[in-house]
Amino acid sequence: MDKIKFYFFSSLLVFTMSLTLTPRTMHAATAAPLDTVVAVVGSDVITQSELDKEVDYIKAQLKHNNTPLPSNLELEHQVLDRMIDQKLELQMAEKMGITIDDATLTKTMTNIAAKNQMNIDSLKQTLRKDNINYDFYRNQVREQLLIQQLLQREVAPRVYISKQDVDNILNSKGFQQAQQQAVQYNIQDILIALPDEPSSEELAAANKKAANIEQKLKAGVDFKQLAAAQSNGEEALQGGDLGWRTPEQLPQVFVSAIQGLNQGDVSAPFRTGNGIHVLRLVGVKGSDQKHTIQETNVRHILIKTDAVHTDETVRKELLGLKSQMASGVSFEQLAEKYSQDPTSAIKGGNLGWVQPGTLVPPFEKAMDALAINQVSDPVKTEFGWHLIQVLGRKNIDNTQEYKELQVRRMLFESRMNEKTQDWLKRMRASTYVKIYLPPVDAPTAKKKS
């Protein structure tokens, strides 16, 4: 399952209470031991069995990515922290009435399979080989979709990217230097988180932990294993992997920290606003930043369905118009007479030069499959039925627009992440959260590999 991207989102259950066992309940407990509560989140709980399922799920991902496993207790703490955040998000989604229907979920699962060159049956088989239950995985995807919708409603509207923000990046010295060399860095990150105003004791403890991590890395301990065990970063359970990023996609302090490093080298610990970082430079590459897109000159005839004109009658009508074209009647003449798109009908159906993504997917898919001057068979979209003809195609250089779009996306992603973390902090601060796992560094804690 080399190409499958798994989604890290946890499952749920409810409620905690103290029990006084009667002889009968003691007997029942002996036959079927009660599940242990590992965390309370508001009025909900996370049980040991739920945590075990998530840990097993993450272990499968780590093994798939050839990441050495940390101890069970370290991994449990990392996974439980994510589960608590997700519990808070799902609670809020439920309060807001956000739901994902089965049709949407099935379509998403089908798309996941298709992107991995699979169908649903082969996806199930591949998951089974990695000891991942399909229903469990499907539930992870449902919960991810819920959280995506929640964040789009609650967090995304708070993110604003101005033209000046984009221009500041485009005109920055770092961006221009990167464009000259088209450099990209593949980086791994370990973060030791600090509160906004750490005490001297907290800072000393974080510095000590960072120095210990640096020492282990220099001694040859696997970076991914340490990240999965000890990092507080968002990518901890992916081995701290930040992927390939250009300099403008990284904080300037990160770029400075990796300057002078050779591939495979580890940086000295350094502090940022959210804690202390240790980076590993996995690789460096350059590429041509020129970007072109194909524009299409296209025209169409649109006929809509209604109570009288069914899909079949409209389709037959369009086929009749296509037959007239084959007999010599011009597309323009028929578009002016029959098309129900008033804007284009007066121009002989011409939509002009369009860029990818401008038109609805069924129309664009049919358009892209046509040869120059070829007329399509009737094509159905949400607007009605179309006859489509491509008049020309050309490649244009849209490098500047592409750069602006990439910078805008980068800024949005960065600020969205910051806003989400702040939002989750406020959620946690306003919700009762209690964790029952023993601390990782407790003298009596047993760490199992």
What is the pLDDT averaged over residues 111-119? 88
Same-fold call for 1-181+401-449 versus 183-287? no
Q: Going by CATH, does the domain composed of 183-287 fall within 2.60.410.10? A: no
Task: List pLDDT tens digits, range 188-238.
Answer: 999 999 988 889 999 999 999 999 999 999 888 999 999 999 999 888 998
Per-residue pLDDT at 291: 74
232 within 8 A of 275, measured Cβ to Cβ? yes
What is the pLDDT averaged over residues 96-106? 94
Beta strands in 162-246 (DSSP E): 183-193, 241-245
**Which pLDDT band holds residue 292 (cuts at 50, 70, 90)?**
confident
DSSP H or E run through 393: strand 384-397
Instruction: Give ∠ CA 162-166-170 in degrees, rounded to 5.
Output: 160
Write down the CATH number for the domain with range 1-181+401-449.
1.10.4030.10
Task: List pLDDT tens digits, range 368-404.
Answer: 999 999 999 999 999 999 999 999 999 888 888 888 9
DSSP H or E run through 435: strand 433-435
Residues 6+ apart with CB under 8 A from 110: 119, 120
**Which pLDDT band holds residue 414 (cuts at 50, 70, 90)?**
confident
Does the predicted model carry a pTM greater than 0.95? Answer: no
Per-residue pLDDT at 290: 61
Question: Which contacts (CB < 8 Å, 24+ apart) does range 435-438 have?
Answer: 435/38, 435/39, 435/80, 435/84, 436/36, 436/37, 436/38, 436/39, 436/40, 437/38, 437/39, 437/73, 437/76, 437/77, 437/80, 438/73
Choose among 365, 383, 368: nearest CA to 301. 383
Tokens of 369: 């499959």
Higher pLDDT, 385 or 131: 385
Task: List pLDDT tens digits, range 9-61.
Answer: 222 222 222 222 222 222 233 333 568 999 999 989 999 999 998 898 888 88
One-letter amino acid at 8 equals F
Would you kindly state where each structural domain of the chain is located, as residue ranges? 1-181+401-449, 183-287, 293-397
Identify the CATH assignment for 293-397 out of 3.30.560.10, 3.90.190.10, 3.10.50.40, 3.40.190.10: 3.10.50.40
DSSP 67-125: PPP--HHHHHHHHHHHHHHHHHHHHHHHHTT----HHHHHHHHHHHHHHTT--HHHHHH
